[in-house]
């Protein structure tokens, strides 16, 4: 087991109707005047926004509002939010929504105390040291941003989608009521579940070898979330299944599943190859949901690299699908690994996710543009289990059409 630092400082308030408690919870963090950030309208339609506002009112926490965060949030609104937060002199940023709203809120929270342009943090010109406190009411389990040290923002002018990382902006508070997710369209539930599984896989397929405690946690969460996803497909208001998915999303990305698997203490485990490849797709095509892109890219990446570490893939096959090779031959290994990858893809497709990039309206002629920005973001080679050249990346993209 490699050395690690694990820090998950978020206060999780998890369960029925806890959104109505957000006022007292943020007041306990010292908030008096918050910036309330939300997305394209789901929180208005579901009545959640009214509940949050009523709760803030009753706790005497005043607020300014920033609406309209789109999926794959864009830099322009972040800059607008920073200006508003400064004028209003807010002392906390409260995100009500999913990963996009939380990431927009994070970027505002660390953009406010910074003198330069917030994009500096995404172009490696600055690292986050100061940040307003962040709280969230989560409405979709997916990105894991409610507890993660990551923030991902798109810059449409440059066709770039980039992340920055720091423990400084892990949210202080996450209010998580699984009932808020009953209204999710199946497609969003499925995209979220895919992202959750991928966050675990990115860490599982690091080059650290076996770390039994972490690997068992990882495979156990994947199995639990797969069962729960199947249950909510049939019954969208299955509370326990929704709760399982919601808590899994947090544990998938708060780094619990990476303990002992990172190359160095304080680093994130894994090479994040599928995320690297997918982010170029949703950067160039913001209408593509991150999880939907991953549903295609993750199996394609697995098929391309598994032979670099068959033992690791056999551990995945056994831990998630209880499959072992029929015999110790190369063929036996290939059959077991291929079965596991095929099963994973069948599961994603069964939830309503695309099987191929063409199903997302994408074309092989788009690949050159993705490779151009991938090279800008990652250099000539990236990844860990099997470092990928740009030729490898091209081959994986093309194999996914
Ligand atoms: O905008 P509204 O109207 O609220 O609708 C949203 C949005 O269209 C809808 N939705 C959310 N909760 C709902 C709901 N609809 C009905 N009922 C509800 N309860 O769902 C849609 C997707 O929301 P979004 O926030 O975009 O989803 P997600 O949480 O998957 O976030 C995706 C973003 O997070 C980034 C992705 O790249 C993408 O930009 N990621 C962030 C990470 C992080 N910060 O740690 C890690 C991830 O790997 C990921 O890269
Ligand atoms: Zn993700």
Decide: 165 in ligand 1 pocket, CB within 6 A: no
Please provide residue 22's backbone torsions phi and psi, each rounded to the nearest 5 degrees.
-60, -35
Please provide residue 132's backbone torsions phi and psi, each rounded to the nearest 5 degrees.
-65, 150
pLDDT, averaged across the chain = 97
Does position 277 have pLDDT exceeding 90, yes or no? yes
Taking only the tens place, the pLDDT of each residue in 39-50 is 999 999 999 999
Taking only the tens place, the pLDDT of each residue in 169-206 is 999 999 999 999 999 999 999 999 999 999 999 999 99
Distance of alpha carbon 111 from alpha carbon 106, whole angstroms: 8
Q: Is 144 exposed, middle or buried (0-12, 13-18, 19+ CB in 10 A)?
A: buried
Start-end ranges of CATH 3.40.50.1970 in the chain? 11-180
| 329 C-alpha to ligand 2 centroid (Å) | 35
CA-CA distances (angstroms) from residue 229 to 178, 187, 200, 243, 363? 13, 11, 16, 11, 30
| 367 C-alpha to ligand 1 centroid (Å) | 25
Residue carrying structure tokens 């080679």: 381
| Ligand 1 atom at minimal distance to the Cα of residue 279 | 37
What percent of the chain clears pLDDT 90, i.e. is strictly above it? 99
| Ligand 1 atom at minimal distance to the Cα of residue 100 | 25
Q: Which fold has domain 11-180?
A: Rossmann fold (3.40.50)
What percent of the chain clears pLDDT 70, i.e. is strictly above it? 100
CATH of 184-400, one of 1.20.1090.10, 3.40.50.300, 1.10.10.10, 1.10.1060.10: 1.20.1090.10
Decide: 362 in ligand 1 pocket, CB within 6 A: no
Taking only the tens place, the pLDDT of each residue in 48-96 is 999 999 999 999 999 999 999 999 999 999 999 999 999 999 999 999 9
Distance of alpha carbon 19 from alpha carbon 12, whole angstroms: 12
| 162 C-alpha to ligand 1 centroid (Å) | 16
Does position 281 have pLDDT exceeding 90, yes or no? yes
Does position 385 have pLDDT exceeding 90, yes or no? yes
Q: What residues contact residue 235 under an 8 Å CB cut-off, 6+ apart? A: 241
CA-CA distances (angstroms) from residue 228 to 224, 239, 245, 304? 6, 10, 6, 29
Q: What stretches of 29-156 show up as alpha helix (H) in DSSP?
A: 42-45, 48-58, 75-88, 99-111
Are the CB atoms for 196 and 36 separated by under 8 Å? no
How far, rounded to the nearest angstrom, does the alpha carbon of residue 86 sit from its chain's CA centroid?
28
What pLDDT sits at residue 318? 98
For ligand 2, a single-atom ion, the residues with CB < 5 A are: 195
Q: What angle do CA 386, 384, 391 make, to 5 degrees?
A: 45
Of 151, 199, 181, the C-alpha closest to 245 is 181
Does position 220 have pLDDT exceeding 90, yes or no? yes
Start-end ranges of CATH 1.20.1090.10 in the chain? 184-400
Taking only the tens place, the pLDDT of each residue in 142-164 is 999 999 999 999 999 998 999 99
Please provide residue 123's backbone torsions phi and psi, each rounded to the nearest 5 degrees.
-115, 25
Residue carrying structure tokens 């639990």: 224
| 328 C-alpha to ligand 2 centroid (Å) | 35
Distance of alpha carbon 361 from alpha carbon 174, whole angstroms: 35
Q: What stretches of 235-328 show up as alpha helix (H) in DSSP?
A: 239-253, 273-284, 290-305, 310-321
Of 219, 186, 185, the C-alpha closest to 312 is 219
């Amino acid at each position: 087991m490699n050395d690690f630092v694990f820090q998950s400082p978020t206060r999780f308030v998890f369960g029925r109707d806890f959104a109505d408690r957000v006022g007292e919870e943020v007041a306990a963090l010292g908030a008096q005047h918050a910036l309330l950030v939300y997305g394209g309208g789901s929180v208005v339609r579901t009545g959640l926004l009214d509940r949050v506002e009523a709760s803030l009112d009753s706790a005497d926490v005043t607020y300014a509002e920033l609406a309209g965060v789109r999926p794959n949030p864009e830099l322009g609104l972040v800059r607008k939010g920073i200006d508003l937060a400064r004028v209003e002199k807010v002392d906390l940023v409260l995100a009500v929504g999913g990963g996009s709203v939380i990431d927009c809120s994070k970027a505002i929270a660390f953009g406010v105390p910074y003198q330069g342009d917030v994009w500096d943090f995404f172009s490696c010109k600055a690292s986050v040291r100061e940040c307003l406190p962040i709280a969230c009411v989560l409405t979709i389990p997916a990105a894991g941003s409610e507890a993660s040290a990551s923030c991902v923002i798109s810059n449409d002018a440059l066709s770039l989608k980039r992340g920055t990382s720091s423990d400084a902006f892990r949210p202080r508070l996450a209010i998580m009521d699984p009932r808020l997710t009953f209204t999710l369209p199946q497609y969003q539930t499925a995209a979220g579940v895919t992202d959750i599984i991928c966050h675990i896989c990115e860490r599982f397929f690091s080059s650290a070898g076996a770390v039994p405690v972490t690997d068992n946690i990882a495979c156990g969460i994947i199995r639990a979330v797969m069962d729960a996803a199947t249950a909510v497909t049939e019954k969208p208001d299955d509370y326990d299944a929704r709760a399982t998915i919601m808590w899994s999303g947090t544990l998938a990305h708060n780094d619990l599943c990476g303990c002992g698997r990172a190359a160095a203490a304080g680093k994130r485990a894994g090479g994040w190859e599928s995320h690297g490849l997918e982010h170029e797709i949703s950067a160039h095509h913001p209408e593509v949901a991150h999880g939907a892109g991953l549903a295609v890219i993750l199996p394609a990446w697995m098929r391309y690299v598994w032979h670099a570490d068959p033992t690791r893939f056999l551990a995945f096959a056994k831990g998630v699908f209880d499959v072992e090779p029929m015999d110790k031959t190369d063929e036996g290994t290939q059959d077991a690994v291929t079965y596991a990858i095929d099963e994973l893809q069948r599961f994603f497709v069964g939830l309503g996710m695309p099987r191929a990039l063409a199903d997302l309206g994408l074309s092989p002629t788009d690949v050159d543009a993705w490779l151009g920005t991938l090279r800008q973001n990652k250099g000539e080679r990236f990844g860990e289990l099997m470092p990928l050249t740009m030729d490898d990346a091209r081959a994986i993209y093309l194999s996914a059409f």
